[in-house]
Amino acid sequence: MTPSRRWTWALVAAPVAALAMISIVVGPAGLPWGTAIRDILSGHDSVPALILLEIRLPRALLGAVVGAALGMAGAAMQGLLRNPLAEPGVLGVSACAAFGAVIAFYSGLVRLFPGALPIAAILGALLGTAALFAWAGRGATVATLLLVGVAINALAGAATAFGLALSPNPYAFYEVMFWLMGSLADRSLDHVAIALPCVALGAVPLLLMRRRLDGLSLGEETALALGIVPSAVARWIGLGTALAVGGAVAVSGVIGFVGLMAPHAIRPFVGYRPGATLIASAGAGAALTLAADIAVRLLPTGRELQLGVMTALLGAPFLGWLAVRRRSNGAAGTSWL
Amino acid sequence: MIERHTIQQNKTSSLSPHPAVAMRRPPSAAGGRRKAACLLSLLVLLFATPVAASEPPARVVSINLCLDQLVLALAAPGQVVAVSDMAHDPHLSAQWQAAQALPAVRVRVEEILAQRPDLVFLDAFAPSHVVGLLKRAGVRLAQFPEASTFDDGVARVRSLATALGRPEAGATLAQQMQERRAAPADGEHRPLAAVWQANGFSVGRGTLQDDLLRRAGFRNLAAERSAGPFEPLPLEALVRAAPELLILESPASDRPSLAEALMTHRAARQAFGTTRTLVMPHSLWLCAGPQNVAALDRLAAARRSLERRR
């Protein structure tokens, strides 16, 4: 088991590291690398050092952190709901987080207390997960869950646009694009400092629930016989998801479909136990987000494409493909297609 | 980030001085050139009618932020009955205090007609349906061409005062502006400055801000980078170019926006610090007019302090 696990780690870490390096290299202006690295190491404040440390590095770090949060949250939700189409973006949890962030940011609350931004986003995400679990429930069919998710998503998106329209700031309304279609452009280390602790904190309950998610996948009765209380697992998973997704969305807006694609991408390698997918899916999410964020900077579009647009371009066809494959397998097939 | 493109397009197509102005307007339709030709003929028509010779207007309404401020400065007491809603905004208008006593109108025909105006001031980029409907309602219109230099502002002061039937007030104000205009520095060191606006846009050639920068003895980074009037200036490119002075604009509202939060990015803060950053109030250089003198004073002071540190 040990060698194969070591392989899994490499499989997760290598693409993330490689893509993070590429992300740092991609930028509008060429960078004298030798000078930049020398100046950073010697603590000298030069222009190349500043660009590398304060502009390129935060973007790469955020790509990894936000992607990992979405990937892990997607895997946890798919495991808990025993539903291969579950994902924070599609089911509206991210949109609820964006709504919370918008309220905190545009009301001016962040000026009084900077922590209000992630806290409000986390509360929004909590509300979203609570509504989702309450209305759809763990035993819901794929269709019911998706319908409830679509409703939550639409409501939260509309509420976000409404909240932005209420702001007297002339720019606010046009920022609906950022909140509903996500972006990592021009983010700074300040944003890393917001997202990273929330995502790390959220990963704790998710990872602690690993074994119980495996138990739940055997069915609720078997799980109960093993001493697992499904409602308690749901609460902890809900909390972890809200922390991770809230922290990510507070700095990046809604980036959809990453949590949907990442678990499916790694299942062939790590197996079909939900608990085993969490870390690998976090890695896949990070790699996917970094790759998409590199693509939006390299594509010859007049202005930079929103990151959420890019992930939707990949993810929406994938969702359709999953649904079609599921139908041809018969809905009574395995729970993972 | 936000709708950079829309703002930019609106800025260039409607030449509104500020995104706030541009955003509240419908984007101008295709065939702008034909429209411009129509407007030009309209202008000729308007000014061909003996405006100044007839009775001075008694109920003036202005529906453009830039004209509002000039009207408020030049009109006789009681002569102006309403100005645009933006003229009341202290973030954008240099005459917001004078505007408080007057009702605000938006660019909507019903709101304008409700004020029973005998003369309406509009800029050359007013929506054509509004212009058409006001003319059909029998209201006299005075449309003014774009003012994108300090001298355009002086000319506008004169022609607007004439339309108000107060040419001597216009002559006085124009004289005051010209006395205090900075002379372009020749042969002196001209430091490089960059204007960085909301959403990371900069202003290049053909803008009032560019004209004021030149007058104050600065070179303008955006004008040297490209020919367009409103171009995105990526943070990385800004830091790379290392201009001697970074000019940010004061917030457009009491409430925050991501567009303006970009101005406080750590990289910009660290690269320029407070000593190489000037915050210019929107109200001073958004529109051509007497308030530009204060903008020139601030630019000149910034240039002097840069020179002292060299």
**Which residues of B are less than 8 Å from A178 in CB distance?**
1-2, 258
Asked if B259 and A171 come within 8 Å (Cβ–Cβ), the reply is yes
CA pair distance A249, A237, nearest whole angstrom = 18
Pick the residue from chain A with its C-alpha nearest to B89: A168
Q: Reply yes or no on whether the pLDDT at A48 is more than 70.
A: yes
- Over its C-alpha atoms, chain B yields an Rg (Å, rounded) of 20
Q: Which of B146, B143, B199 is nearest to B20 (CA)?
A: B199
Chain A 105-144, residues with CB within 8 Å of chain B CB atoms: 105-108, 110-111
Q: Which of B272, B234, B3 is nearest to A185 (CA)?
A: B234
CA pair distance B266, A6, nearest whole angstrom = 39
Q: Which of B240, B251, B260 comes nearest A51 by C-beta? A: B240
Banded model confidence at residue A71, pLDDT cuts 50, 70, 90: very high
Q: Is residue A3 part of a domain?
A: no
Banded model confidence at residue A303, pLDDT cuts 50, 70, 90: confident
Of chain A, the percentage scoring pLDDT greater than 90 comes to 71
- A207 touching B, CB under 8 A? no
Q: Reply yes or no on whether the pLDDT at A5 is more than 80.
A: no
Asked if A28 and B19 come within 8 Å (Cβ–Cβ), the reply is no
Q: Is residue A171 part of a domain?
A: yes
Contact predicate B239/A28, CB 8 Å:
no
Banded model confidence at residue A45, pLDDT cuts 50, 70, 90: confident
CB atoms within 10 A of CB B112: 24
Question: pLDDT per residue over A197-209, tens digit each?
Answer: 999 999 999 999 9
- Average pLDDT value for residue range A307-333: 83
Expressed as residue numbers, the domain containing A225 is 66-327
Q: Is residue A264 part of a domain?
A: yes
Residue B185: per-residue pLDDT = 60
Mean pLDDT of all residues belonging to chain A: 91
Element (H, E) at B74: helix B65-74
Q: Between B105 and A269, whose confidence is greater?
A: B105
Q: Which of B234, B253, B266 comes nearest A28 by C-beta? A: B234
Question: pLDDT per residue over A116-133, tens digit each?
Answer: 999 999 999 999 999 998
Interhelix angle A274-298/A57-81, nearest 10 degrees: 140
Domains of chain B, start order: 31-180 (3.40.50.1980), 192-309 (3.40.50.1980)
Asked if B2 and A178 come within 8 Å (Cβ–Cβ), the reply is yes
CA pair distance B2, A330, nearest whole angstrom = 44
Distances (CA, A) of B126 to A170, B15, B94, B157, B163: 19, 10, 21, 19, 18
Question: pLDDT per residue over A222-260, tens digit each?
Answer: 888 999 988 899 999 999 999 999 999 999 999 999 999
Banded model confidence at residue A218, pLDDT cuts 50, 70, 90: confident
Chain B 166-225, residues with CB within 8 Å of chain A CB atoms: 198-200
In three-state secondary structure terms, A53 is helix
User: How many structural domains is chain A composed of?
Assistant: 1
Q: How big is the A-B interface in CB pairs under 8 Å? A: 107
Pick the residue from chain A with its C-alpha nearest to B254: A169
Q: Reply yes or no on whether the pLDDT at A332 is more than 70.
A: no
Q: Is residue A135 part of a domain?
A: yes
CATH value at residue A186: 1.10.3470.10
Q: Which amino acid makes up residue A212? A: R
Each residue's pLDDT expressed in tens, for chain B with a length of 310 residues: 333 333 333 333 333 334 444 333 333 433 444 455 445 544 544 544 444 446 899 999 999 999 999 999 999 999 999 999 999 999 999 999 999 999 999 989 999 999 999 999 999 999 999 999 999 999 999 999 999 999 999 999 999 999 999 999 999 999 999 998 766 666 788 999 999 999 999 999 999 999 999 999 999 999 998 878 888 899 999 999 999 999 999 999 999 999 999 999 999 999 999 899 999 999 999 999 999 999 999 999 999 999 998 7
User: Strand locations in B135-255, DSSP E?
Assistant: 140-144, 192-196, 201-203, 219-220, 230-232, 245-249
Predicted complex ipTM:
0.85
Residue A326: per-residue pLDDT = 77
CA pair distance B139, B251, nearest whole angstrom = 36
Which of B5, B65, B240 to probe the A interface (max A CBs under 10 A)? B240
Q: Is residue A26 part of a domain?
A: no
Q: Is residue A11 part of a domain?
A: no
Q: Which of B25, A124, A262, B157 is nearest to A132 (CA)?
A: A124
In three-state secondary structure terms, A81 is helix
Q: Is residue A117 part of a domain?
A: yes
Banded model confidence at residue A6, pLDDT cuts 50, 70, 90: low
Q: Is residue A8 part of a domain?
A: no
Banded model confidence at residue A12, pLDDT cuts 50, 70, 90: confident
Asked if A188 and B266 come within 8 Å (Cβ–Cβ), the reply is yes
Distance from CA of B255 to the nearest CA of A (A): 6
CA pair distance B243, B266, nearest whole angstrom = 17
